[in-house]
Structure 1
Amino acid sequence: MEADARESGRRPSPDPPLCWSLVPFFGSCGLYLFLWLPAEEPSWNSALAKCLPILYLALFVYNTAPSGPYGRFVWLGLLCSALGDIVLIWPNQFLFGMTAFALAYLLYFKALGWQPTHKALLESVAAVIVLYFGFLQPHLPSRLSFPMLVYAVILGLMLWRALARGGSAALGGLFFSISDAVLAWDTFIWSLPSGRMIIMVTYYAAQALLALSTVEEGNDPLA
């Protein structure tokens, strides 16, 4: 009986197939962060290394997420993100890369749905976005001011819905915001000593958390 009690008190172990299916993601993250990132040069090889973790996450969602709009829109958002990763390897394609990520955020927004509303969360997110963009705007090239404003609004909407949903999606939304905030600072205001590492670690964490949200219970608000 004591043995049965000890067994019943144990937490259930993670599902081995689910854990193993993420090994390629973590391996490809390590490959990029420690072999490519320190001396990243624009090339198709570096573009592949950068987007490979996101492609593995897209495969993970495709294979494990229950059928329904939530997983489908997250999967499409991951593919758009991979495209953005490829394009942003070349600095002169910044606007096109930003467009790809804005589309990815819109797809995540669509996946997350409108309910529950949590109006107070929307007001808080809007206040932070307005304050940060107001600080950033004087440092932006004039041709990027309006596109960056549109991008910030889309990011804020996605963050609002992610926080309202909770769970892995909420943490993913927060990490996306941190990654983009550090990227904007590092690009337009002041280059940070470890800026690129912070940007990519928080970015990969955000994408992984959002991918994991597709296998959480009750994950399809659109169903």
Structure 2
Amino acid sequence: MLERIFMTGDGLDALRIALALLSLIAAIAYQVIERAAPSLLRTGLKTAAIGLLVPLPLLAVGIGPALPLLLLSAAFLFSALGDFFLAMKGDARNFPRGLVAFLVSHLFYIAVMVPIASAPETLAQKTISLAVGLGAMALYFTLAPTLGRMKLPVGTYLVVILVMALSALAIPEGAPLLGLGAVLFVISDSVIAFDKFKSPVPARGLIVWITYYVGQALMALSLLALLMP
């Protein structure tokens, strides 16, 4: 997988490796200061962790199919935008803005994955897909009494991220890392929702950021490997 992404021999491999390493460094640095007061540094690190991945699919255009790679780059871009809004404190409107940005990101992920997805074939695929679906339903009905005006937005978001995860789980060539990444992404957002609308989650910041970043990284690597023949 890594050879296919970072050892293409087109003269841009050093740039690809640098972007991936800087993304990892930004993610680790953000986790170190995650509990600190909002600041330009904190916001910048959180945004950069995924933002630095945006150019990777663009650098592969010409090696792989242009449209899916452009859509994947857009998925990273809107994820970084969602991180930017969620890192900004002091304005209640930033949470719904972040929600919309991530919803759009999932739609781009879906646009990349649905054309290469197929019906789950193995028992493991079917079992995990069923578990993810039931878990999403259980989470929504648990949160519903406390969502208030956010019931429709959260419900819509939950449906979209569920479709994204099921699409990832339905790509045999991407298994198991693509499906694992999507499930980790779902777990991260579920913890955020439960913490915000139901009750505080111990070690929320650590759980959310690790599952989110590792999930996105696994999805990024898996999809780039699939799209770069």
Query: What range describes the TM-score normalised by the shorter chain of this pair?
Result: 0.7 to 0.9
Partner of 1:60: 56
Instruction: Decide whether the 8 Å contact of 1:70 with 1:214 is kept in 2.
Output: no
Gaps of 5+ in 1: 1-11
1:139 equivalent to 2:146? Answer yes
- Provide closer, same or farther for how the CA distance between residues 74 and 204 of structure 1 changes in structure 2, counting only shifts above 3 A: same
1:128 equivalent to 2:124? Answer no
Q: Compare CA radii of gyration and give the structure with the larger one.
A: 1
1:27 equivalent to 2:28? Answer no
* Matched length: 205
What CA deviation, in whole Å up to 9, does each residue of 1:93-139 have, x standing for no partner? 11111000000001000000143033957655432221111112123
Instruction: Decide whether the 8 Å contact of 2:188 with 2:211 is kept in 1.
Output: yes
Instruction: Decide whether the 8 Å contact of 2:132 with 2:183 is kept in 1.
Output: no
Q: Which 4+ stretches in 1 moved above 6 angstroms? A: none
1:156 equivalent to 2:162? Answer yes
Partner of 2:10: none
TM-score by length of 2: 0.79
Task: Give the distance between the partners of 2:86 and 2:184, measured in 1 at CA.
Answer: 19
- Provide closer, same or farther for how the CA distance between residues 99 and 209 of structure 1 changes in structure 2, counting only shifts above 3 A: same
Task: Give the distance between the partners of 1:187 and 1:57, measured in 2 at CA.
Answer: 28
TM-score by length of 1: 0.81
- Provide closer, same or farther for how the CA distance between residues 197 and 40 of structure 1 changes in structure 2, counting only shifts above 3 A: farther
CA RMSD of aligned residues (A): 2.5
Please tell me the residue identity of whatever aligns with 1:53: A
Gaps of 5+ in 2: 8-12
1:39 equivalent to 2:36? Answer yes
Instruction: Give the SS at the match of 2:78.
Output: helix
Post-superposition offset of 1:185: 1.6
Task: Give the distance between the partners of 2:214 and 2:206, measured in 1 at CA.
Answer: 12
Post-superposition offset of 1:73: 1.2
